[in-house]
Amino acid sequence: MPPTKNLLAAEPTPVDVTWAKTALVIIDMQRDFLEPGGFGETLGNDVSQLASAVKPCGLVLDAFREAGLLVIHTREGHSPDLSDAPPAKIERGAPSLRIGDPGPMGRILIRGEAGHDIVEALYPVKGEIVIDKPGKGAFYATDLGDTLKQRGIETLLVCGVTTEVCVNTTVREANDRGYRCVVLADCCASYFPEFHEMGLRMIKAQGGIFGWVSSSSEVLAALNSEPSKMIA
């Protein structure tokens, strides 16, 4: 059993976390973003840049599972008929393959295809919530808001890829909805290391304008802390 509450070390300030009201939200750790041949690579990115997030994310995921706490995975993608894919998204840029085109892991960014699935190391287990989202933010056109409300969740620990795109968009959506978001820096990654850094700085600047930034080791330390270290 984890302690009921903890003061989690974070920037710009420590965060008071009540574990029963906290969800781990793992954003888009999908083969389409992390593995060669998927959506991320079609956009011209070096997908190996995202690998560093997998292990720390797995450690936090294991700790949440062990403690019986709420875990939510998200996946960015579209229905096979592309009815939820805006033309403005499909037609964007000059990728090597477009959303819906056949690729080495099936159709690019399409639900049900191999590339759309979550990487093996972080694969959801029974009972974990998987939110399929057509956009960058996890609240837009999904039931994430209702899911969190039903469970009385107040704080989100946010991991995933990419820091400045789907993680930042989701944190901004969540912040406006009243959630306290703590982004775990080493559990996130970007194709552009400088965007990762700036994405985190944007969240924690101005007294935590969008939320807080912490790390996997701080979460593990807090979850494993002795009851004597708990705050009343």
User: Does 200 participate in binding ligand TIU (rule CB under 6 A)?
Assistant: no
Tell me, what DSSP letter sits at residue 195?
H
* # binding residues, ligand TIU (CB under 6 A): 10
Q: Is 166 a residue of the active site?
A: yes
The least CB distance from residue 205 to ligand TIU, in Å, is 21
The sign of the CA dihedral 62, 63, 66, 69 is: negative
Binding to ligand TIU (CB under 6 A): which residues in 8-37? 28, 33
The least CB distance from residue 190 to ligand TIU, in Å, is 7
The least CB distance from residue 111 to ligand TIU, in Å, is 14
**Beta-bridge mates of residue 158:** 25, 183
Q: Are 158 and 182 in contact (CB under 8 A)?
A: yes
Host H or E run for residue 25:
strand 22-27
Nearer to ligand TIU, 50 or 148 (CB): 50
Binding to ligand TIU (CB under 6 A): which residues in 152-171? 161-162, 165-166
CA-to-CA distance for 44 and 132, rounded, in angstroms?
A: 24
Q: Is 57 a residue of the active site?
A: no
Of 10, 47, 56, 58, nearest to 155 by C-alpha is 10
Nearer to ligand TIU, 22 or 169 (CB): 169
CA-to-CA distance for 165 and 163, rounded, in angstroms?
A: 6
φ, ψ of residue 57 in degrees (nearest 5): -60, -40
Nearer to ligand TIU, 166 or 200 (CB): 166
- Tokens 């979550």 belong to 118
Q: Are 166 and 76 in contact (CB under 8 A)?
A: yes
Q: Is 133 a residue of the active site?
A: yes
Please tell me which residue in 159, 166, 181, 188 is annotated as part of the active site.
166
Written as one string, the DSSP assignment of 9-22 is: --BSS-EEEEGGGE
User: Does 117 participate in binding ligand TIU (rule CB under 6 A)?
Assistant: no
CA-to-CA distance for 67 and 59, rounded, in angstroms?
A: 12
Nearer to ligand TIU, 17 or 34 (CB): 34
User: Does 57 participate in binding ligand TIU (rule CB under 6 A)?
Assistant: no
Residues 63-102 as x/- pattern, contact with ligand TIU by CB under 6 A? -------------x--------------------------
- Catalytic residue positions, numbered: 28, 133, 166
The footprint of ligand TIU (CB under 6 A) covers 28, 33, 43, 76, 136, 161-162, 165-166, 191
